[in-house]
Amino acid sequence: MRPFGNVIPLDEARSIIAAQIRPIDRHEIVPLHEATGRVLAGDVVAAADVPPFSRAAMDGYAVRAEDTAGAARDRPVLLACVDQVFTGQMPGRAVGHGECVEIATGAPLPTGADAVVMVEDTSRDGTGPVQVFAAVQPAQHVGRQGADIAASQVVLRDGTHLAPARVGVLAATGAAEVRVYVRPRVAILSTGNEVASPGAPLEPGQIYDVNRFTLTAIAWTHGGRPEPHHTVGDDIDALAEAIDACLDADMLVFSGGSSVGERDLMLDALARRGRVLFHGLALKPGKPTAFGLVGGKPFFGMPGYPTSCLSNGYILLAPAIRAMARLPPQRAATVRAPLGARLVSPAGRHQIYTVALVDGAAMPAFKASGDITSMSQADGYIEIPMDVEVLDAGTVVEVTLF
């Protein structure tokens, strides 16, 4: 066996990773309906005013504001209704002195009118004149042309994360497609003679590949374009070929082969082609984790145990993919809850401990690094710093939700 050399603190590992991640600079044009969650490549400038015409902001009557002066419930102003206009229609005539036009919310304001009286402040008997019971000021209940967005205005800046409301802004400008940064390609490769693909029969001593699928899900969720590769056995030449096949991607993620056994050959293969920047974290679970560069591309060597791999996928891989994809840091939801049981943490190791929220308490859910149910049956995790060895039941902890 080959013992670990120096393990490093989690914060140091994060700093090393951050220093090697470069934001993606390639871009593509996508239809607007596929733009949600993407990152804008280049400023967007409005080609026209939004709204493109002045429009009614209320159902009622388009009027000249000066004609309503002095109107009150006991002294209504009488106006002749000369037209009716609905949304999607253009007014048939202008509004003159002493006149009004019945108008629907969103319909274009007729020429001559400068305000809208709400229908609640009016009364009309059949086809007779409209009684106006409240005076209005110019521009009252009117959405002015260009009030939302003016032509030639920069609507969104380069690097903007396209949340649903921002996609709506693009639609308002008439854009049918938008230029965005591409999702970084993330090659994902599981290694080990013991790993079989789900759906295939298990040979003696084999287990199904969990990590390829959890890592693929993390990559897709956090802005990457995952590219899963076929599992490779413990053969250094085959591993070297598999690494070469992954080098078209922007980031490489391997699981297995990052521990300390003589048959864990992935790091040997990586070291031949690149540079290992760290191997081993003062972390539980997830100690056998590596990071470095191969072919100028960042790579992660993840533990083979599913819980360790997934845990590090959340706390190390996901932020790196987001940074490369130009996405903002994830704002994970957290809750505070008392521990439901006493926890003991190993000295000198930062611990990620999964918990389930039961009746308002954080109950331990961690089983073992190889048990994926440690994550799937948990609601989130707590972090126990390196200098804390015991947390008593009842201690209030912050739970980061999955």
| DSSP letters spanning 11-69 | HHHHHHHHHH------EEEEEGGG-TT-BB-S-EE-SS-BSSS-EESSSEEEE-GGGGT
Ranges of each domain in the chain? 10-25+183-324, 27-50+147-181, 55-143, 334-401
pLDDT, residue 1, reads 38
Residue with tokens 């015409």: 53
Exposed / middle / buried, residue 380 (Cβ in 10 Å: 0-12, 13-18, 19+): buried
* Residue 214 backbone dihedrals phi, psi, to 5 degrees: -70, -40
Check whether domain 334-401 has CATH 2.40.340.10, yes or no: yes
Check whether domain 27-50+147-181 has CATH 3.90.105.10, yes or no: yes
Token pair for residue 313? Answer: 């996928």
Q: Residue-wise over 368-377: b if at least 16 C-beta within 10 A, else e?
A: ebeebebbee
pLDDT, residue 396, reads 97
**Which one, of 240, 259, 248, 242, lies nearest residue 190 by Cα?**
242
DSSP string, 327-370: PPPP---EEEEEBSS-EE--TT-EEEEEEEEETTEEEE----TT
Rg (CA), the chain: 32
Tens digit of pLDDT for each residue in 329-384? Answer: 999 899 999 999 999 998 889 999 999 999 999 999 887 766 677 778 899 999 99
pLDDT by position in tens, the chain (length 402)? 355 568 999 999 999 999 999 999 999 999 999 999 999 999 999 999 999 999 999 999 999 999 999 999 999 999 999 999 999 999 999 999 999 999 999 999 999 999 999 999 999 998 899 999 999 999 999 999 999 999 999 999 999 999 999 999 999 999 999 999 999 999 999 988 888 888 889 989 888 899 999 999 999 999 999 999 988 988 888 899 999 999 999 999 999 865 545 456 888 888 888 999 999 999 999 999 999 999 999 999 999 889 899 999 999 999 999 999 999 999 989 999 999 999 999 888 999 999 999 999 999 988 776 667 777 889 999 999 999 999 999 999 999 998
pLDDT, residue 372, reads 72
Protein fold of 55-143: Molybdopterin biosynthesis moeA protein; domain 3 (2.170.190)
The residues pairing with 103 across neighbouring beta strands, listed in sequence order, are 60, 85
Selected from 3.40.640.10, 3.40.980.10, 3.40.50.300, 3.40.50.10490, the CATH number assigned to the domain covering 10-25+183-324 reads 3.40.980.10
pLDDT, residue 261, reads 52
pLDDT, residue 257, reads 60
